[in-house]
Amino acid sequence: MNRKEHHARPARQGRVNANTTPANRELPHPAPEDIRLKDLLHAVSDPVRLGMIRQLAAATGALPCSSITVPVSKSTASHHYRVLRESGLIRQTYEGTAKMTRLRRADLDMLFPGLLDTLLTAAGLPGDRAARRA
């Protein structure tokens, strides 16, 4: 085996081809019965993801990913979207070439009444617990 063959990259899995466009791809989302509290709490434990949730909660509908402000690189933002999606907090769909994101408020309110509002209210308060107790 020559040097080039040894260092050749393997074929990428899931590459978009002529028959697969963003418009007809489905992203994995948990069914409502598969959403777990521990996954939701893990997802909102990161301040970047919590900020994303706050922006989505303030919107009247779905937002394109490009309109949600995140203080991280594009690849890191993709990771945060995946964590939020796989936890069940958000639903992402393709509309044309845009990936639209919205909160799964109805599912979350049905499964965990008041949780989302409590998290959003707590996230909106300045300072930490110790500062609020003082």
pLDDT band at 79 (very low <50, low <70, confident <90, very high): very high
The side-by-side arrangement of strands in the sheet containing 63-64 is 63-64, 98-103, 90-95
Residues 86 and 72 sit within 8 Å (Cβ to Cβ): no
Who contacts 125 (Cβ-Cβ below 8 Å, separation ≥6)?
A: 132
- Terminal Cα distance for the chain, rounded: 69
Domain 26-118 has CATH 1.10.10.10: yes
3 state DSSP class of 84: helix
- Count Cβ atoms below 10 Å from residue 37 Cβ, excluding itself: 12
Nearest to 41 by CA among 118, 130, 125, 129: 118
pLDDT at 3: 52
Tokens of 104: 């799964």
pTM above 0.85, yes or no: no
Percentage of the chain exceeding pLDDT 70: 75
